[in-house]
Structures are given as C-alpha cells and as structure tokens.
Structure 1
Amino acid sequence: MVKIALDPTPFHHTHKLLEFPKLAADLGYKYLQMTPHADFIPFFNHARADDALVKELKKACKDVGVEIASTLPVLRISSPDPDAREAAVRNFKRVIQITRELGVNTIGTEFSGRPEKAEESERAFYRSMEELLPIIEKEGINLFIDPHPDDFVEDGMQAWRVIRGLNSKHVGMVYVASHTFHMGNNALEIMRTVGSRIGITHISDTMDHKRSHGLRYITNPPGNAIRVHQHLKLGDGDVNWDEFFGGLKEIGYLDNPNAIMCSSVFAENEKNVETAVFQREAIEKYIAKFG
C-alpha cells in the first residue's frame, strides 16, 4: 500500500528536528517527508546538516520505527540567474548525499524557475539536469518534481512534457492536490497521462481561485501577478477528493508500496496535532473507500 507520510512543517515552531520521528510515531504515522528546515536543508541555500546530524536523525527514526520516505529540497535549479542556478546545483549534490546517507532513494522538489522568464528558466532547468541527472541515476535516486504556482511551468500537462523531455525513468512528477486549480483542474487527465511516473502526492485542500468569475480573491491593484492557493485540511476546500483518490486507484498508485502520500496542511499550526491526526485518518478512509 502507498506510504502515508507526515510533513512536519506545522511543527517547526513546537518541536526540534530530532524530535520529528517520535512526533510522527505518536501521531500514528510510519513515514516522514523531510521538507525544508533551518537545521537540515533550508529553502534555497546549502544544507545545514553535517554527517553527524544525519546519523542522529537516522538513529532517531530507527529508535521509534519511523522511516523517512523522501527528502524535499527547494533550490533554484531553474533560475535564469547563472550564479543562483550554479549554487543550486552544488547544493542539490549535497542533498543527494544526505538522502543516500539516510538510506532513502526518493527526492521531491520544485522546478523553482520564474514565470515571467519562462524560456530562460526552462533552459536553466535542462542545463542543471544535464549535470545532476547522471548523479541521480548513478545513485539510484528517484526524483519527482512539482509544478508549483508561480513557477515557469504551472500547468500539469505542460509540466509532464518538460519532465518527459529529460528522457529518464528516474524522474517523475509530484501531484500536489492543493495546486489542482493552477495545474488546470484536470486531475484525471494528468493522472492517466503521467501514470506510474507520479511518485509523490501531497494531501491538502484549497479553494478554487477561479470561481465567481475570478473574483473569489480580490487584490489591488487589479492585474497583480500573484498566485493564490491554500494548504487546508482535506474537505475544507474545493478539491474533488472522490475524483482524486479514484484516479490514483485507477493508475495503481494506492497499491504501490513505493508511492508516497504526504499530509501537507500549513493553514492550522495552532491545531497542528489535531490536524495531523485528522489528515491521517481521512487519508486512510479514502484509501479504504477506493481500495
């Protein structure tokens, strides 16, 4: 069955890095997804973890029977700025080392380019992957990429075409449910097209920002180049969860023991414990419903 993982981001203000494994176990999770953290792999910068800390984290997981399902760096590998891109590639190489030292073979990430410089960002992405892909393949890493809102590619089908262009079975796609309405609101088409190359899904809800003639969210002045989405509890937004889980069942995702389904609610830190338990139970119910 699919791995159900906890994104510990809502607990960054209440727990330390090495407390995350026991926290996950206490909340009923068997897996963690290691998203950006100031003491581990921060946003956009070099990893802060040395080998000693990586060993401590690995031991903390073993002590409570929790596994790390994946690491999730966010680095500017598609930046049109040459210095930023080159630094991101160097930083990503260290992430690969850390991932392997943890005994993990899965990395999730974002394209991390700029929508106003889409062509330049795409060129930067392929340039970075020319250097990273041989290492990824040699190390036996599976890399999955999320077309995040405010990236050079946001549409789900377009993102798959960019990924497919790498011509490597080691690279696939992250489907973030709360990005559904930026990706084209066509979950089944994306799932059926990408199929087994979807390796990570993030479970959080969001409102459809395009409803009410685009006036659900109003920013001033009109025409601001902003992206609006939330990471809400499952059921608190407009994502069609029957379609989502039904589509994943159709492509074999729910029965794949290597697939990762991560709870990623960021809107309710004040209720982080209750929300994490709710998310796990809701995910389990949907899996049972379609299993």
Structure 2
Amino acid sequence: MKLAIDPYMFRTTSLQELPGLVADLGYQYIELSPRHDFIPFFLHPRIDTAGIQSFKKALSAADVEISSVLPLFRWSGPDEDEREAAVRYWKRSIQITAELGCNVMNSEFNGRPEKSSLSETMFWRSLEELLPIFEREGVELRLEPHPDDFIEDGKLAVDLIRGINSPLVSFLYCAPHTFHQGGDIRGIMEYAGELMTHLHVADSYDFRASSGLRYIINPPGSTARIHQHLDIGQGEINWDEFFSTLGLLRFDGIMTVCVFAWEDRARESSVFMREEIERRISAWSHLN
C-alpha cells in the first residue's frame, strides 16, 4: 500500500522544493493536485518539458515518488465549449503524468447536479475520446463522486464506473465526502469491492445531523453543499469502521491524506495524519 499526501496546504512551495518538504514530513508519495505552476483548476497545464525534468530530479534527490496526479476539468460540461477544452487539457495532463513516470491519475466527474442527464451524456462523450489515450499510455484512472456533482451517491458512482467496463478505471472512496455519498462506509466499500483502489483520508462533520441543522445556511433552502477536510478525530466519520472494513477487504492501493483545513498548522497536521494512519493500519494482517 502507498501512503501519500496531497500537499495542497503547501502549494506555495515550489515544485523543486516540494519533494524535500514531503520527505521531511515522513511521506514517500505525493498525490499532486491542482496548483498554478503545474495543472491549475479547470485550465490548461502550465508545466513544460524542462519543468517536468527539473521536478523529476528533485523527486529523485528526495527519494519521493508521485503516486498519482489529480487534475480537475469540466469534462462533463454541461457547456460544450468547456467540455471540448477540458478534453484537450486532459490529453496534455495524461502526457505529463506519463513523462513523470506515474501511471495513476484520479479525478471527479465534474458535471452539474441540476443537469445530471446532460452532464452524464457529456461525460461519456469525453471518455470515448480519452479512454484510448489512457490505454495507449498505460495510465490508470480513479474516479470519485463529489458533493455538487451530477453523481454524489457512492453506490451509484460505483455502478457508473462498472459501466465503463475498463480494467484501467476504478473507484476512489473519499472519506470526507462520506455523508454526501450516503453515509454508509462499509456498505459502499463492500459494494465496490476490488473496484476500490484509492482512498482520500480526512474527517468531516455530518451535515445531515440534528435535523439538518448541524449547519445553518442562508438563504433557507440553499442547494449549497458543505463539508470539511479535517484531521482524523476532528469530525464525525466512524474511523473504526473505516479502517476495519479496509482491513477485511485487504485494501492494498493508494491512501492519500487530504487535509485542507489547517494551513496555519500544516506540518503538524500532516505528521499527525501519517502517524495516526500508520498506527491504525498496523493491525492489518495482510500488510504484515
């Protein structure tokens, strides 16, 4: 199993300095999420060949690897111009990932819940063009449902991914999205089975709790989604169930720490998360 960190809280650190920082935190793997000098949110990648080579040298010097690359593009529209642009951005991002020597990418469906049917139509249109490129480059794709996307429920996302019917495409369970996925940790994980190859680990509160009044959003009836990416133990996710289910399923994929809430104590948070996860997975017999 690979224990990685999404270094978004350290995104102002240069790519050349980032591997050393990650190594100092005790991690060997990076899940590289959007940043302005690499692959920005919803825009064409910025890094060039020289930048890739410089980053690879820094990774090698720190003995750190890229476990996965996480781009976010509007490949499910619903605007067709944005969808076509997103496909172009995806193509360059796949190339960058391969040049980095990484064979895993993960992302979201990135459509709109109020236009779910149209978004899914556009998702399939994009995938038909991109899947042959993933296959040619030997790059795997892990997908997750996300709050305020055209698919938010965990089991429905598993169904859609099964429908892709490709050995390169699998399911990512994002713990801080648990309550938007239906709240059934064990049920979703068991339903996905071997299709679940990737995890995001951070805590969150249950927005459904206290008669839906855990959070009060104005104006009343707002469709805004709310969740957090906190340290383990700061929210309401059942971590005993989370880790025990993974142990029973003999999970051996990528587990990524993705806390975003604590830029003022980013180092402390990152070290705590690594140590807490290492403590909990030490009980897994299949890793010993």
TM-score, length of structure 2 as denominator length: 0.97
Question: After the TM superposition, which residues 231-270 of structure 1 pair with which residues of structure 2 at under 5 Å, given as runs?
Answer: 231-253=229-251, 256=252, 259-270=253-264
Q: Which moved more, 1:166-175 or 1:190-199?
A: 190-199
Q: Which residue of 2 aligns with 1:29?
A: 27
Specify every segment of 5 or more residues in structure 2 that has no aligned partner in the other structure, as ranges: none
Q: Secondary structure at the match of 1:47?
A: coil
- Structure 2 counterpart of 1:228, one-letter code: I
- The runs of 4+ residues in structure 1 deviating greater than 6 Å are none
Displacement after TM superposition at 1:289 (Å): 2.9
Q: Which residue of 2 aligns with 1:12?
A: 11
Deviation readout 1:120-169 (Å, 9 max, x if unpaired): 00001001000001111121111001101010000000111111111111
Q: Secondary structure at the match of 1:224?
A: coil
Q: Find 2:143's aligned residue among 142, 145, 163.
A: 145
Q: Which residue of 1 aligns with 2:284?
A: 290
Deviation readout 1:56-84 (Å, 9 max, x if unpaired): 11111000100110000001111111100
Q: Find 1:171's aligned residue among 164, 169, 172.
A: 169
Aligned partners of 1:176 and 1:201 also within 8 Å:
yes
Structure 1 Cα separation of the partners of residues 17 and 174 of structure 2: 26
- Structure 1 counterpart of 2:274, one-letter code: R
Structure 2 Cα separation of the partners of residues 138 and 161 of structure 1: 25
Structure 1 Cα separation of the partners of residues 159 and 77 of structure 2: 19
Deviation readout 1:164-203 (Å, 9 max, x if unpaired): 1111111011111000000001111111121122122111
Q: Secondary structure at the match of 1:159?
A: helix
Structure 1 Cα separation of the partners of residues 93 and 197 of structure 2: 18
Q: Find 2:48's aligned residue among 47, 50, 57.
A: 50
Displacement after TM superposition at 1:9 (Å): 0.5
Q: Secondary structure at the match of 2:197?
A: strand
Q: Which residue of 2 aligns with 1:120?
A: 118
Structure 2 Cα separation of the partners of residues 188 and 276 of structure 1: 26
Q: Which residue of 2 aligns with 1:272?
A: 266
Q: Which residue of 2 aligns with 1:109?
A: 107
Structure 2 Cα separation of the partners of residues 155 and 18 of structure 1: 38
Question: After the TM superposition, which residues 60-209 of structure 1 pair with which residues of structure 2 at under 5 Å, given as runs?
Answer: 60-209=58-207
Q: Secondary structure at the match of 2:267?
A: helix
Q: Secondary structure at the match of 1:18?
A: coil
Displacement after TM superposition at 1:266 (Å): 0.6
Q: Secondary structure at the match of 1:182?
A: helix
Deviation readout 1:227-257 (Å, 9 max, x if unpaired): 010000011101111111111112221xx2x
RMSD: 0.9
Aligned partners of 1:196 and 1:252 also within 8 Å:
no
Aligned partners of 1:178 and 1:231 also within 8 Å:
yes
- Structure 1 counterpart of 2:10, one-letter code: F
Q: Secondary structure at the match of 1:118?
A: helix
- Structure 1 counterpart of 2:281, one-letter code: I
Structure 2 Cα separation of the partners of residues 18 and 79 of structure 1: 34
Displacement after TM superposition at 1:52 (Å): 0.8
TM-score, length of structure 1 as denominator length: 0.96
- 1:226 equivalent to 2:220? Answer no
Displacement after TM superposition at 1:17 (Å): 2.0
Deviation readout 1:87-107 (Å, 9 max, x if unpaired): 000100001000000110000
Q: Secondary structure at the match of 1:261?
A: strand
Q: Which moved more, 1:163-172 or 1:99-108?
A: 163-172
Q: Which moved more, 1:134-143 or 1:201-210?
A: 134-143
- Structure 2 counterpart of 1:247, one-letter code: T
Structure 2 Cα separation of the partners of residues 129 and 144 of structure 1: 13
- Structure 2 counterpart of 1:12, one-letter code: R
Q: Which residue of 2 aligns with 1:212?
A: 210
